[in-house]
Amino acid sequence: MKILVVGGGGREHALAWRLARDPERPEIVCAPGNAGTSSVGRNVAVDAADVPGLVALARAERPDLVVVGPEAPLCAGLTDALAADGFAVFGPTRDGARLEGSKIFCKDVLRAAGVPTAAAERFTDAAAAKAYVRAQGGAVVVKADGLAAGKGVTVCATAAEAEAAIDESLVKGVFGDAGREVLVEECLVGEEVSILGLVDGERVVLLASAQDHKRIFDGDRGPNTGGMGAYSPAPVIADSDLPAIREQVFERTLAELRRRGVTYRGVLYAGLMMTAAGPKVLEFNCRFGDPETQAILPRWAGSVSRALLACAQGRLDASMVSWHPGACVCVVLAAGGYPGAYAKGKVIDGLDAAGALPEVAVFHAGTAAKDGRVVTAGGRVLGVTALGADIRGAVARVYEAVDRIRFEGMQCRRDIAARALKRL
């Protein structure tokens, strides 16, 4: 079996690493991959956003399955293009990917489906949007409609902040076409959790829960990032909550998509806020989360390639997904200055020493190979990951591994999984 993994971040290294460990021992090809994926497969220098280049690569490589990591190629129609050539693709077509690609489309589907979510209104006119903010009393969330590299959402404590966010998007045009329309949303309060479901067009199988840490500094302070760490399972959700989430969030959304003629295959990722009134959907992503994947996949027992192929072919079965007991924690090591400007090309030491610890995997995100060394090449550089008998054990082990790694300017949070520890 040959699998083409599209993307080159920590999520894709975790996918490639875990797929390579399946009993089928699949051959892994990554496009473009990174310095980590080259140790579990073969990297090919085709960019993840280059749809024609990826179709040409698939024609040359003839993979049995294509697993698409990032949202951009899904929203650009990579799955549609590959499926037209007969390839089995894990990842939704362009129409399904709109759940992530358009926050207005997503909200429309959620409402029509009767899924619990924040109240919201859409605007193209800044004055009308500001009048709505004032009527709401100030604390709102302003969201650019389209993909804005993770920067299109502003959680505003005051009307002045909201008005500034509205101007950025609708007047100054800082998000370009992605920000020509905004959603002004009720601000929800609670703890966030990520629930990912495998979807084969009909059936949904939920994966183990996870929690991300979006702020750069300990205690959830400082600016938002792509994610500074994650752990699984997330005890804020009890197993007994999952059937209701499956029905009220996943089944209802997929039924509404079917009514609209959309067949969804791949991961549907629900970002949920656990409010006093129950779980509400903050967002959908049309792909695996990063860094949630790094904390979820090491816990997956059985063949991941078999399950993902079954998804792509519309024959998923709940028996294909099971979990190792215990917990997994991923700590992201970031470049100094991230999420602002940061340097690249810093030599990374201690990768082998960290990876030699039992039950530890060091996933590469922004790395490159240079003169026989591994150097930094992005904002999020590594995702150091450890399994443990429980969260406490996984946390102790992951920080032992983190402390073996060094590069100039390295920063990481020291409180990953603190919420879970507090619940113990």
Q: Which residues bind ligand AMP (CB under 6 A)?
A: 118, 141, 153, 155, 185-188, 192, 214, 271, 282-283
Residue 163 within binding range of ligand GLY, rule CB under 6 A: no
Residue with tokens 């060394």: 373
Pick 227 or 266: Cβ nearer ligand GLY: 227
Partner from ligand AMP, ligand GLY, none contacting 192, C-beta within 5 to 8 A by type: ligand AMP
Task: Record the tokens describing residue 3, joined without a space.
Answer: 């699998």
Report the residue count for the chain. 424
For the CB of residue 327, give the shortest distance to ligand GLY in the complex, in Å: 18
Q: How far apart are CA 290 and CA 107, in angstroms?
A: 23
211: contact with ligand GLY by CB under 6 A: no
To the nearest 10 degrees (0 to 180), the angle between helices 103-113 and 252-259 is 100
| 294 closest CA partner among 366, 357, 385 | 385
Residue 271 beta carbon to ligand AMP: minimum distance, rounded to whole angstroms = 5
Residue with nearest beta carbon to ligand GLY = 289
Q: How far apart are CA 301 and CA 94, in angstroms?
A: 30
Q: Residues 85, 143: contact at Cβ < 8 Å?
A: no
Measured CA to CA, the distance from residue 395 to residue 398 in angstroms comes to 5
Instruction: Write the Ramachandran bin of 31: left for phi over 0, alpha for psi from -120 to 50, otherwise beta.
Output: beta
Binding part of the chain for ligand GLY, among 169-177, 245-253, 283-291, 299-307 by CB under 6 A, reads: 283-291
Q: Which does 67 bind (CB under 5 to 8 A by kind): ligand AMP, ligand GLY, none?
A: none
Cα 407 from Cα 378, distance rounded (Å): 13
Residue 155 binding: pick among ligand AMP, ligand GLY, none (C-beta 5-8 Å cut-off by kind): ligand AMP
Check residue 285 for interaction with ligand GLY (CB under 6 A): yes
Beta bridge partners, 197, equal 206, 268
374 binds, among ligand AMP, ligand GLY, none (CB under 5 to 8 A by kind): none
Q: Which stretch binds ligand GLY (CB under 6 A): 108-116, 196-204, 284-292, 361-369?
A: 284-292
Considering the complex, state which of residue 58 and residue 147 has its C-beta at the smaller distance from ligand AMP: 147
Q: What 3 state SS string does 342-379 have?
A: CCCCCECECHHHHHCCCCEEEEECCEEEECCEEEECCC
289 binds ligand GLY (CB under 6 A): yes
Which of 9, 17, 290, 351 contacts ligand GLY by CB under 6 A? Answer: 290
Query: Do the Cβ atoms of 351 and 345 come closer than 8 Å?
Result: no
Per CB under 6 A, the list member of 98, 212, 321, 383 interacting with ligand GLY is 212
**Choice from 181, 185, 256, 292 touching ligand GLY (CB under 6 A):** 292
Q: Which of ligand AMP, ligand GLY, none interacts with 282 (beta carbon under 5 to 8 A by kind)?
A: ligand AMP
Binding status of residue 192 toward ligand GLY by CB under 6 A: no
Is 227 a binding residue for ligand GLY by CB under 6 A? The answer is yes
The two tokens of residue 412 are 């990481």
Q: How far is the CB of 223 from ligand AMP (least distance, A)?
A: 12
The DSSP secondary structure of 289-337, one letter per residue, reads -TTHHHHHGGGEES-HHHHHHHHHTT---GGG-EE-SSEEEEEEEE-TT
Interaction partner, residue 290 (ligand GLY, ligand AMP, none; CB < 5-8 Å by kind)? ligand GLY
Sequence-separated contacts (24+) of 43-49 with Cβ below 8 Å: 48/6, 48/7, 48/8, 48/72, 48/73, 49/73, 49/76
CA–CA distance, 208 with 394 (Å, rounded to integer): 16
List the beta strands (DSSP E) in 74-132. 89-90, 120-123
Instruction: State which residue, 145 or 192, has the beta carbon closest to ligand AMP.
Output: 192
Residue 292's binding partner among ligand GLY, ligand AMP, none (Cβ under 5 to 8 angstroms by kind) is ligand GLY
| Buried/exposed code over 17-35 (b: 16+ C-beta within 10 A; e: otherwise) | bbbbbbeeebbbbbbbbbb
Which residue's Cβ lies closest to ligand AMP? 283
CB of 196 to ligand GLY, least distance (A): 10
Cβ 61 to ligand AMP shortest distance, Å: 33
Closer residue to ligand AMP in complex, CB, 167/186: 186
Give contact residues for ligand GLY (rule: CB under 6 A): 212, 227, 285, 289-290, 292
